[in-house]
Amino acid sequence: MLINQFENTGTLSKIISMLGDEQYYKISPNGYSMFPFFSGYRDILYVSKPDYPLKRGDIALYVRNDNTHVVHRIHHVNFNNDNREYYMLGDNQTFIEGPISETQIIGVVKKINRKGKEILCDSSKLYITLWKIWIFLRPIRPLFLSLWRIWHKITCSDKRNNN
């Protein structure tokens, strides 16, 4: 999920690092790499400064080497000497990206406003259960997403035909 690119990568990092506890920076992501958990152009993410150590399932805002800002879920963490290396995965993807260093991670998503409803990432039991199942299903996600697209086309065409 790409975030609008900043000319100065440090700007967003500085804004987030200045946030206090329980303070958030609202971002509106672009793209669909985190579908079905949230969707670009529709949902709002509330990002705070990272509270290390991050763990599997956390949604991190990080900067790629080409200065692109991305929001993806942590698939797993490796330890290289004293450093943590994060491996990231979009919920609508099967490719795992990494390693991502802690210095590249500038924020972590704490809340999601999805279709007008607020989801707390750390405390919603339904949300936590669903993302754990979704990570486990990574190898067969394309099948689920294909079935969802077919179902969506059928239900949307029925709604259009009834109007």
Helix H segments across the chain?
Answer: 9-17, 125-136, 141-162
Phi, psi dihedral angles at 120 (to 5 degrees): -90, 120
pTM greater than the 0.95 cutoff = no
Complete domains list, the chain, with CATH: 9-162 (2.10.109.10)
Distances in Å between the Cα of 54 and the Cα atoms of 63, 87, 105, 163 are 16, 11, 10, 48
Tokens 């949307």 appear where? 156
pLDDT digit string (tens) for the chain, length 163 residues:
545 444 445 677 777 777 777 788 888 888 889 988 888 889 999 999 888 789 999 999 999 998 888 999 999 999 988 899 999 999 989 899 999 999 999 999 999 999 889 999 999 999 999 999 999 998 888 888 888 889 888 888 655 555 5
Beta-bridge partner residues of 61: 71, 107
CA distance linking residue 46 with residue 111, whole number of Å: 5
